[in-house]
Structure 1
Amino acid sequence: MKRAPFFKLLQYRTFNFTTRHYDADKEEREARIKALREKYIDQDSIDKSAEGLERSISFSKERARRTERKPILIRAAILVGIFALLYMFFK
């Protein structure tokens, strides 16, 4: 027998919805575009875009690290300030 939880947690609803609309023109258009891209895009541009993507990923990782460190430094400065005030007050 299952016991009721102490705190009621939110349960997200999920829907199993399959689309029923098929657009033959859209499928045909996408197939043509894909074929043209494969035909005309050269490998050098793909390599350059991959290099740029790697740079942007590394930049975003570095930025995330900086934003993670910032609140820690602020808290540390506040604690040092509080301890300095307490030291001066009880001296």
Structure 2
Amino acid sequence: MKRGAFFKLLQHRTFDFTPRYYDAEKEERDARIKALYEKYGKKEEKNEESAEGVRRSISFSRERSRQAERKPILIRAAVVVGIFALLYVIFK
């Protein structure tokens, strides 16, 4: 069996670095697309789509919170029923 060392020996340092590359063509393309959206009013339609997405997200979170509220109540009810059943068996 191998034992751990009493003193921790120094290790060489390693870095997890991911270099980033600049793509001039992509920057130009994104700038042209942004200018076209501003010129032709596509931005307004995008806001409507995002508003609909927000509504869906809110309704989903409401449903999720309702389910989260029900779960502890069911667990407590099961525990209370279990305790009463145990007491009934003990004092029978």
| Same fold? TM cut 0.5 | yes
Q: Which residue does the alignment assign to 1:34?
A: 34
Identical residues among aligned pairs (%): 30
Larger Rg: 2
In the TM superposition, residue 54 of structure 1 has moved relative to its aligned partner by 2.9
User: Deviations 1:10-58 (Å, cap 9, x if unpaired)?
Assistant: xxxx967662x21111111111111112222163x24532431331121
Q: Which residue does the alignment assign to 1:74?
A: 74
- The change in CA–CA distance for 1:42 and 1:17 in structure 2 (over 3 A counts) is closer
User: Deviations 1:38-87 (Å, cap 9, x if unpaired)?
Assistant: 222163x2453243133112112212312322430231122122122023
Question: What amino acid sits opposite 2:48 in the alignment?
Answer: K
Q: 2:25 aligned with 1:25, yes or no?
A: yes
Q: How many residues align?
A: 76
- Regions of 4+ moved over 4 Å: 14-18
| Unaligned 5+ runs, structure 2 | 1-14
Q: TM (normalized to structure 2)?
A: 0.61
- Structure 1 stretch 74-83 or stretch 23-32: which is displaced more? 74-83
User: What secondary structure, in the 3-state scheme, does the structure 1 residue paired with 2:22 have?
Assistant: coil
Cα RMSD between the aligned structures? 2.5
Greater relative contact order, per chain length (Cα 8 Å cut-off, separation 6+) = 2
- State the distance in 2 between where 1:49 and 1:42 align: 10
